[in-house]
């Protein structure tokens, strides 16, 4: 009887120890992203991965801009304007960071979001070299951001350029008439519903919207002209007509400085940073306990919503544009 009691006690103790061990492992795994190595306060909260080893006294930071450029989204699940900008600021503040490689793989996006990131890149590039590497796509808003960098690179097969602005709306007036629907709108001014899809645009409305597009286009071209030292007239009479170019053609038209692969972008960053043996590191998502707990605490309904949203965003290079919003995107991405 005594042996049986001792056996049960030993078994219970074993289960307790196993439970404590499992709990400790969970705590270690969950807290790993937050155990950041000695970095400046501005960089805390980012995971830092070593891509290529090198000197511990200097590093090159790799930062990604991926997909549709927007001010919406981000957080624990992905990269957006909201966390790309803090990553740039963290790299700027870290004295060990000698240069930045900004990889862009984006067809463009919202004009304001593109402009915010362009300004952030330009500001950092005034302090430390920023080598921009455009991957599969670095067009329109993606190229707009790239113009803030110190040295622009692309693969020969990269799709870039698409210097232009687009506003899209729909018109389903005839469809409404077929099903017997009519739109009743009360406005405070004649231009308040100028992009209404339920009626044809008036000539003065078309002229007004075109004027906004032209204004933003002039800003885009001016940024390219300044960054690439190409006259505005040459751009407007040449490649700044919305066309998409390969990396090889972009080099011919002086829109980039070199073609190559990401490894050559790292080498260029080391050269410009004056550190031949700097290690290459990559920032992960900006994490916080609040974001993590919020993600882990989602209900099943929330989980279904996340799946649905991710499915829509997953259309990636073919985004569904919002009527009336202003975008820096190739025309063939708009539908």
Active-site annotation, residues: 140, 192
CA distance 91 to 289: 22
- Contact by Cβ (8 Å): 317, 107: yes
66, β-bridge pairs? 105
Residue 63's Cβ-count burial label (10 Å; 0-12, 13-18, 19+) is buried
CA distance 299 to 297: 6
CA distance 140 to 138: 7
- Contact by Cβ (8 Å): 279, 98: no
* Helix segments in 147-238, DSSP class H: 173-179, 203-228, 232-236
């Amino acid at each position: 009887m005594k042996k049986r009691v001792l056996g049960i006690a030993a078994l219970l103790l074993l289960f307790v120890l196993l439970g404590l061990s499992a709990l400790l492992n969970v705590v270690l795994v969950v807290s790993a992203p937050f155990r950041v190595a000695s970095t400046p306060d501005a960089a805390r909260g980012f995971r830092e991965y070593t891509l290529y080893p090198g000197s511990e006294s200097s590093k090159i930071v790799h930062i990604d801009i991926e997909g549709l450029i927007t001010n919406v989204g981000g957080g624990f699940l992905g990269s957006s304007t909201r966390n790309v900008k803090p990553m740039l600021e963290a790299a700027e503040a870290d004295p060990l960071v000698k240069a930045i490689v900004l990889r862009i793989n984006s067809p463009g996006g919202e004009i304001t979001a593109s402009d915010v990131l362009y300004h952030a890149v330009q500001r950092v590039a005034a302090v430390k070299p920023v080598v921009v590497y455009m991957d599969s796509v670095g067009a329109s808003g993606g190229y707009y951001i790239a113009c803030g960098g110190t040295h622009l690179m692309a693969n020969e097969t990269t799709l870039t350029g698409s210097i232009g602005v687009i506003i899209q709306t729909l018109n389903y007036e005839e469809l409404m008439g077929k099903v017997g629907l009519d739109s009743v709108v009360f406005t405070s001014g004649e231009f308040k519903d100028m992009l209404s899809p339920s009626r044809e645009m008036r000539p003065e409305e078309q002229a007004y919207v075109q004027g906004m597009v032209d204004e933003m286009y002039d800003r885009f071209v001016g940024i390219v002209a300044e960054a690439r030292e190409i006259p505005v007239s040459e751009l407007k009479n040449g490649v700044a007509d919305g066309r998409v170019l390969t990396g090889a053609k972009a080099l011919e038209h002086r829109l980039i400085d070199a073609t190559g692969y990401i490894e050559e972008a790292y080498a260029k960053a080391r050269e410009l940073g004056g550190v031949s043996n700097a290690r290459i590191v990559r920032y992960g998502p900006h994490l916080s306990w609040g974001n993590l707990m919020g993600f882990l605490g989602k209900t099943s309904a929330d989980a279904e919503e996340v799946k649905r949203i991710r499915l829509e965003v997953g259309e990636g290079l073919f985004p569904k544009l919002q009527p009336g919003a202003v975008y820096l995107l190739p025309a063939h991405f708009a539908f």
